[in-house]
C-alpha cells in the first residue's frame, strides 16, 4: 500500500506540475532532495539575435549541506516543504562579493537556467567561476545564464564553491587535507548527474567550462580520479592546472603554513593537527581570512592524495587524464589585469602607466624560480626575448609592455600551449582560440564603484566574459558594463555564444547551429597549430606565440638542465665574477662623479 500511495503522489505531482505550466505559473521541479519552485523570464532580442524565448530560473539550489569548516562537503538531506529557488543565495566567504549575495560559510548553492518548455536531452554547461581561488561567486549577474541558454537551447548551471583559506587550509595529513573547494565542485557535478534530467538535461552530455581559476579547476577535474565520468567535454578560458599560480609547487610547506596560521590566531598547540583544526574552527571567519592572507599570500590547489594524486605535469606525462574534446585559449593582453587593481589611480587613464625596470626584474626572477637551474642565466634568456634593446639604454624607459607580456605568457598563454599539445598528442579533439580584440567596455567593476573604461586594458584577462555570457544583452548589467559595446561587438558576443553552445552540443564549435559567414573553426593539430581569433572578423590564425612559448616550455627547461648542476668551483667563479662586475660599476660611477666635481686645473 505504501508503494501505491507513493505512485499516486508522484502522478498527482506531475499533473499539478503540468497544469501549473499550462496556467503560466512558476515552474516546479522535483529533484532527489525535494521539490523546487523557480521563476520564468522572457528573453527577447530583436536586432542581433532575433529571438524571444522563455527561460526557467532555479536560483540558490542547495547541492550539499552547509559545510563544516575544513571538511569535505556532505550530500544535501531531503526537505519536506517546497524550496523557494527564485533568488540568489549567499556567496562563499570572501572580501569581494556581489552586493546581492553577501558572504557566508553556508554557501554550497547552484543556479539552473533551463529553456521553457522543458527540453529533452538538452546539452548541459556547468560554469566554474574564477577569482584566483580567493573570491568569486555564481550568485552574480555577470554569470547570468539566460542569454546563453536562449541562444543555444542548452541548460546552464553555475556553481558556488569554497574559496581562499576555507578551501585551501591543509595540515599535510588526514586532519585537514585541503582542496575543499574542489571537493565542493565534485559534489556539484555529482548533483548535476543525479538531477539534471528533471530540468530536461542529458547527464551524459555535460560540458564543464570556466575562466582563470575556474579554467584551472576544469583542468584539475580532467586530472582527478574523483571527477571521472562527471563530464564529457571541457572549455578552459585563460587558465589551467599547469599554470604556476594554480597548483602548489611545494606541498611540503603546507604543515608550516598551517602552524603559522595557528600561531597568528592564538591556538595553543599547533603541533597537534587535530587540536589545531579544532581551534581554527572556533575562530571568527573574517579574522581567520585576514590572518591567512598574510600567511599564504595566494591560494592554489594542493597535492592531497585524494582529489589530486600527483602533479599536473606528472599526470599528463603518465597519460592519466580525461580524454575529452577540449576548447581552450587565451587573450592577447592577459597581463593588464595586474595593473588594473594596483594602483587604482590608473583607472580611466588614456595611456599605459609607466612601469620601471625593477618591476620587470622582480617579475622575471619570480617567473624563473619554478625552474631548477641557474637563475641569472634563466633571467637573461627571458630579458633577451622581452626587452626592447633599441631603447633599453635610454633614461625613463617604460617597461609596461615587457611586464604585460611576461605575465601573459608565463602565467596564461604558454601553460595553455602545454595542455592543448598534451591532448592533441593523445588524439583528443582540440579547438584553440586567441582573443585579439580589446572590447569597448570592461568586465571589471568594484563593489559600489564602476571602474572607468581604460583603453589600454585591451584584450585583457577576463574580458572574454563579456562575449561568452552575452553581457550586452543582460538587463541587470545596464550601467555597469557591456552596454557600451559597438554593434560589431554585440554581434561578436552572439557568435561566441553560438560557438560555445555548439561545442557543448557536439564537441565541435562549428555545428549543429549555423555560425554565420565565417570560415569554419579549424581543429588545433600539430604541426598546423591553427586557431580561431576572437574578434568581430573571426579570422583564422596559426602558431600564436610559438616563439615565446618555446622559450617558456622548452628552452628554459633545457637551460636549467645544463646550468642546474654547476660544480662548486664554477659557482664560486660565477659569484666572484658577478661581484667584480658590481664593483666595477660602482667604481665607474664614483670615478665619473669625481671627474664631474673635481676641476683638472686645481
The set of catalytic residues is 212, 334, 461
Cell numbers at residue 495, please?
557568435
Query: How far is Cα 65 from Cα 48, in angstroms, rounded to an integer?
Result: 42
Cell numbers at residue 157, please?
548551471
CA 223 to chain centre: 16
Cell numbers at residue 130, please?
574564477
Backbone angles phi, psi at 530, to 5 degrees: -90, 150
User: C-alpha angle 599/600/602, rounded to 5°?
Assistant: 75
Query: How far is Cα 229 from Cα 207, in angstroms, rounded to an integer?
Result: 11
Is residue 530 helix, strand or coil? Answer: strand
CA 197 to chain centre: 27
Measured between alpha carbons, how far apart are the two ends of the chain, in Å? 119
CB atoms within 10 A of CB 538: 20
Strand extents, DSSP E, 194-252? 201-211, 233-237
- Dihedral angle of Cα 101, 104, 109, 111, to the nearest 10 degrees: 10
Q: What DSSP string describes 82-137?
A: PEE-BS--PEES-SS--TTS-EES---EEEEEEEES--SSEEEEEEE--STTT---
Whether omega before 527 lies within 30 degrees of 0, making that bond cis, reads yes
Please list the residues that pair with 61 across neighbouring strands.
110
β pairing state of 109-116 and 51-62: antiparallel
Running DSSP on this structure, what letter comes out for residue 412? I
CA-to-CA dists, residue 4 to 14, 134, 499, angstroms: 15, 50, 48
Q: Are 327 and 503 in contact (CB under 8 A)?
A: yes
Query: How far is Cα 33 from Cα 326, in angstroms, rounded to an integer?
Result: 33
Query: How far is Cα 282 from Cα 287, in angstroms, rounded to an integer?
Result: 11
Whether omega before 512 lies within 30 degrees of 0, making that bond cis, reads yes
Query: How far is Cα 543 from Cα 537, in angstroms, rounded to an integer?
Result: 18
Max distance between CA atoms of the chain, in angstroms, equals 119
Amino acid at each position: 500500500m505504501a508503494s501505491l500511495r507513493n505512485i499516486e503522489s508522484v502522478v498527482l505531482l506531475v499533473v499539478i506540475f503540468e497544469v501549473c505550466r499550462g496556467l503560466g505559473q512558476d515552474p516546479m521541479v522535483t529533484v532527489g532532495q525535494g521539490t523546487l519552485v523557480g521563476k520564468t523570464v522572457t528573453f527577447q532580442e530583436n536586432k542581433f539575435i532575433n529571438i524571444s524565448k522563455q527561460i526557467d530560473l532555479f536560483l540558490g539550489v542547495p547541492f550539499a549541506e552547509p559545510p563544516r569548516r575544513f571538511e569535505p562537503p556532505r550530500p544535501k538531506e531531503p526537505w519536506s516543504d517546497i524550496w523557494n529557488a527564485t533568488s540568489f543565495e549567499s556567496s562563499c566567504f570572501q572580501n569581494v562579493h556581489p552586493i546581492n549575495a553577501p558572504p557566508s560559510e553556508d554557501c554550497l548553492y547552484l543556479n539552473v537556467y533551463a529553456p521553457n518548455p522543458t527540453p529533452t536531452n538538452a546539452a548541459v554547461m556547468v560554469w566554474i567561476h574564477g577569482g584566483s581561488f580567493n573570491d568569486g561567486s555564481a550568485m552574480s549577474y555577470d554569470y547570468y545564464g539566460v542569454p546563453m541558454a536562449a541562444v543555444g537551447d542548452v541548460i546552464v548551471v553555475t556553481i558556488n564553491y569554497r574559496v581562499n583559506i576555507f578551501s585551501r587550509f591543509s595540515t599535510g595529513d588526514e586532519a585537514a587535507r585541503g582542496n575543499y573547494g574542489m571537493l565542493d565542485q565534485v559534489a556539484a557535478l555529482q548533483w548535476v548527474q543525479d538531477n539534471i534530467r528533471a530540468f530536461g538535461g542529458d547527464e551524459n552530455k555535460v560540458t564543464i567550462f570556466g575562466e582563470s581559476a575556474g579554467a584551472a579547476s576544469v583542468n584539475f577535474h580532467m586530472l582527478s580520479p574523483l571527477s571521472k565520468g562527471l563530464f564529457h567535454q571541457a572549455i578552459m578560458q585563460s587558465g589551467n592546472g599547469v599554470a604556476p599560480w594554480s597548483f602548489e609547487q611545494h606541498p611540503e610547506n603546507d604543515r608550516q603554513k598551517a602552524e603559522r596560521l595557528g600561531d597568528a590566531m592564538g591556538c595553543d598547540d599547533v603541533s597537534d593537527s587535530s587540536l589545531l583544526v579544532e581551534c581554527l574552527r572556533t575562530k571568527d571567519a573574517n579574522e581567520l581570512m585576514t590572518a591567512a592572507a598574510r600567511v599564504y599570500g595566494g591560494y592554489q590547489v594542493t597535492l592531497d592524495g585524494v582529489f589530486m594524486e600527483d602533479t599536473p605535469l606528472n599526470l599528463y606525462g603518465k597519460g592519466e587524464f580525461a580524454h575529452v574534446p577540449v576548447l581552450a585559449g587565451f587573450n592577447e593582453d592577459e597581463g593588464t589585469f595586474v595593473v588594473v587593481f594596483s594602483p587604482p589611480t590608473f583607472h580611466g587613464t588614456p595611456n599605459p602607466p609607466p612601469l620601471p625596470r625593477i618591476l620587470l626584474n622582480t617579475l622575471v626572477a619570480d617567473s624563473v624560480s619554478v625552474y631548477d637551474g641557474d637563475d641569472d642565466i634563466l633571467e637573461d634568456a627571458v630579458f633577451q626575448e622581452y626587452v626592447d634593446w633599441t631603447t633599453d639604454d635610454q633614461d625613463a624607459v617604460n617597461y609596461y609592455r615587457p611586464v604585460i607580456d611576461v605575465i601573459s605568457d608565463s602565467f596564461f598563454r604558454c601553460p595553455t600551449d602545454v595542455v592543448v599539445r598534451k591532448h592533441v598528442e593523445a588524439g583528443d579533439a582540440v579547438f584553440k582560440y586567441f582573443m585579439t580584440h580589446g572590447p569597448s567596455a570592461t568586465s571589471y567593476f568594484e563593489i559600489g564603484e564602476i571602474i572607468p573604461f581604460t583603453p589600454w586594458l585591451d584584450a585583457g584577462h577576463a574580458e572574454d566574459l563579456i562575449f561568452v555570457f552575452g553581457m550586452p544583452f543582460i538587463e541587470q548589467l545596464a550601467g555597469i558594463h557591456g552596454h557600451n559595446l559597438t554593434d560589431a561587438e554585440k554581434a561578436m558576443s552572439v557568435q561566441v555564444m553560438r560557438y560555445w553552445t555548439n561545442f557543448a552540443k557536439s564537441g565541435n564549435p562549428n555545428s549543429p547551429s549555423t555560425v554565420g559567414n565565417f570560415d569554419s573553426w579549424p581543429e588545433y593539430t600539430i604541426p598546423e597549430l591553427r586557431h580561431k581569433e576572437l574578434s568581430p572578423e573571426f579570422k583564422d590564425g596559426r602558431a600564436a606565440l610559438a616563439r615565446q612559448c618555446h622559450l617558456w616550455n622548452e628552452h628554459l627547461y633545457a637551460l636549467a638542465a645544463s646550468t642546474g648542476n654547476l660544480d662548486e668551483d664554477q659557482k664560486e667563479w660565477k659569484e666572484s665574477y658577478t661581484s667584480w662586475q658590481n664593483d666595477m660599476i660602482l667604481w665607474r660611477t664614483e670615478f665619473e662623479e669625481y671627474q664631474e666635481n673635481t676641476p683638472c686645473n686645481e
